[in-house]
Amino acid sequence: MPHQPLTHLERWRPSVTVAAIIEKDGKFLLIEEHTPEGLRLNNPAGHLDPGESPIEACSREALEECAYDFSPSHLVGIYLSRFQRPAKGNAPAEDVTYLRFAFAGELGAFHPERALDQGIVRSLWMTPDEIRSSAHLHRSPLLLQCMSDHLSGQRFGLESISTDPSVYL
């Protein structure tokens, strides 16, 4: 589906998301979630909310989606992707561009009593080979890209991301 040109009154607004790239003992922490396309695998990830920095959003999303505390220590990368879902039933077609900030960091305490976000079935640990072989179940192609970048040692300091104090007002 090609992009239609915007009128002078429209503004393109990509959806800003964050993702936690969590590796421990050679495995990555993923979540399995219900989507309109069925059960899918993803990094603990979600949308940036008003009044928070991308770093804060990543910690929040990891806690909400897999019940682990997570402290980002570095940026793995910034990614742009496009998702197109055809119209189905009464649901209109969707054409969404995502701008993802992916972070790696320190895994903290697990909170087994904590309810996971709506739609999240479970969290699971998978090896890179298991992740590669399950690509048909990935919610986003960015899952593989972020993992590959992390495994290659790609790292950027958190000081490269600045949140102006006006965000918190």
Q: What is the pLDDT along the chain (169 residues), one digit of tens a residue?
A: 566 676 667 788 899 999 999 999 999 999 999 998 999 999 999 999 999 999 999 999 999 999 999 999 999 999 999 999 889 889 899 899 999 999 999 999 999 999 999 999 999 999 999 999 999 999 999 999 999 999 999 999 999 999 999 999 9
Among 79, 77, 58, which Cα is nearest to 69's? 58
**What integer pLDDT is reported at residue 2 of this predicted model?**
61
**What integer pLDDT is reported at residue 8 of this predicted model?**
64
**What integer pLDDT is reported at residue 44 of this predicted model?**
98
**What integer pLDDT is reported at residue 53 of this predicted model?**
98
**What integer pLDDT is reported at residue 16 of this predicted model?**
97
Query: What's the rounded Cα separation, in Å, for the pair 146 and 148?
Result: 5
Cα-only R_g, the chain: 17
Neighbours of 128 (CB within 10 A): 16
**What integer pLDDT is reported at residue 88 of this predicted model?**
87
Classify domain 15-86+93-157 by CATH architecture: Alpha-Beta Complex (3.90)
